[in-house]
Copies of this chain bind each other. A is one copy, B any other.
Amino acid sequence: MSYFPEVTAKIKYEGKDSKNPLAFKYYNPEQTVAGKTMRDHLRFSIAYWHTFMGGGQDIFGLPTFAHSWHHSSDPLDRAKHTLAAAFEFFEKLDVDYYCFHDRDISPEGSTFAETQKNFEIIINMAKDLQQSSGVKLLWGTANLFSHPRYAQGAGTNPNAHVFAYAAAQVKAAIDATHVLGGENYVFWGGREGYETLLNTDMKHEQTQFARFLHMAVDYKKKIGFEGQFLIEPKPKEPTTHQYDTDAATTLSFLREYDLLDHFKLNIEANHATLAGHTFQHELAVSATAGKLGSVDANRGDTLLGWDTDQFPTNLYDTTLAMLVILEQGGLGSGGLNFDAKPRRTSIDDIDLFYAHIGGMDAFARGLLAAQKIIDDGVFSRFISERYASYQSGIGKDIMAGNFSLEKATAWIAENGEPTRKSARQELLENILNQYI
């Protein structure tokens, strides 16, 4: 049985002039770029929640999709069909990784025990499918934001009972990720924040949350899970103010609570712009701190104030993102996970293929452009000349900590006003356009 009968074979690379909507125009998995295949550079991953569980609903409208894998009225049966459809999709799209939340992949039962039982059944099935297909788990995570019990937070919930519930759920999700050989495990704190300070003890909540993460770190060590722990920053939505607002805020929290060694960041494009930053900025902040772990590859709409989770097709974004990624030596155990959904008016299953193909091609173009930029050295040469004065003289002293306000005063008394130099932003932007 096939869930995607319209796609009769693996999607293939056909080159940039192809008019076949079901072909890659730029993504050529085995093509080598700077000694590594595109496949290994890009490490594409499918987001289980959007692609297989998304229904096209929005806050003003009911689901619009009617996927065949959702037809069964029995939740567990539906979950099995969904998983089978997912692996058919992975193979037809020729993608190596996927990501899930515990509650996407298997249904909540009426008790904790039943929920765990469901989860176990599905995880076993996923293990078999991974084995037979070769598809791997990029990361697992626990959904600690959808159920009403988490409305006031999970690790930051004012009720210790909820904290414990969340902790139990995380244990199971880490276990599952471990069983499936997941290369990372993600924490996204959609409810870890506050709605109003009138009812909130911010210090208490942040301390709780640090305890929560330390417990996860301890457990990881105990069971020997080698995957990377990742935190995914987001500023707001659903919660008015989330504690892990952006990369810098999250790093500050990790530093304050002695968690920095145990976590990297999972940066999402749309979360970056909601925080008032560019995607490239959040990637660069993370990479600069040695903490860029993985990427949620999507696109927001900066004229809208919510997470639109559109597929990434903007070539400026993909090129500049790949530039940061290549400069830090690649994604490591991370990947490019399409945390993106078709618009709710794209109601056909085939639209899922179109959407992912577009995103994959856009990142492939970004990779090619970024590698060429690096090879040509245009920007890097400009930058090293721009900061050259720190390689010798007082510049060298400054960087080495051998300078002082008094020395500066004496030196300026002698040397006077500096000569100014153009920063050439427009010229550099023109050059960038030559690579797009």
Contacts and interface: CB of A to CB of B under 8 A. Distances in A.
B433 A361 contact: yes
B345 A151 contact: yes
Interface string A152-174: 10000011111111111011101
Interface in A411-436: 411-413, 415-430, 432-434, 436
5 A-B pairs with the lowest CB-CB distances in the bound complex, closest first: A305-B305, A252-B252, A160-B395, A167-B408, A345-B423
Contacts of A358: 426-427, 429-430, 433
Interface string A255-284: 110000000000000000111111011001
A421 B159 contact: yes
Given A195-B425, A236-B304, A382-B199, A430 B148 contact: no
Contacts of A347: 148, 151, 420-422
B343 A195 contact: yes
Contacts of A382: 198-199
Interface stretch (A4-12, A123-131, A398-406): A398-406
A36 interface: no
Given A240-B301, A389-B158, A406-B171, A433 B315 contact: yes
B113 A346 contact: no
Contacts of A344: 151
A99 B311 CA distance: 39
6 contacts: A60-B146, A111-B416, A151-B344, A164-B412, A215-B408, A241-B281
A291 to B, nearest CB: 11
Contacts of A404: 167, 215, 218-219
B424 A351 contact: yes
A306 interface: yes
B208 A398 contact: yes
Contacts of A354: 424, 426-427, 430
A383 interface: yes
Nearest to A409: B168
Nearest to A63: B148
Interface in A273-314: 273-278, 280-281, 284-285, 288-289, 301-307, 311, 313-314
A238 interface: yes
A273 B274 CA distance: 14
A61 B145 contact: yes
A61 B383 contact: no
Which residue among A164, A201, A401 has the maximum number of chain B CB atoms within 10 Å of its CB? A164
Interface string A192-210: 0001111111111011100
A409 B399 CA distance: 51
Given A412-B112, A412-B165, A320 B401 contact: no
Contacts of A219: 404-406
Contact of A198 (B241, B417, B425): B425
Nearest to A365: B433
Contacts of A395: 160, 163
A251 interface: yes
A430 B198 contact: no
A394 B276 CA distance: 39
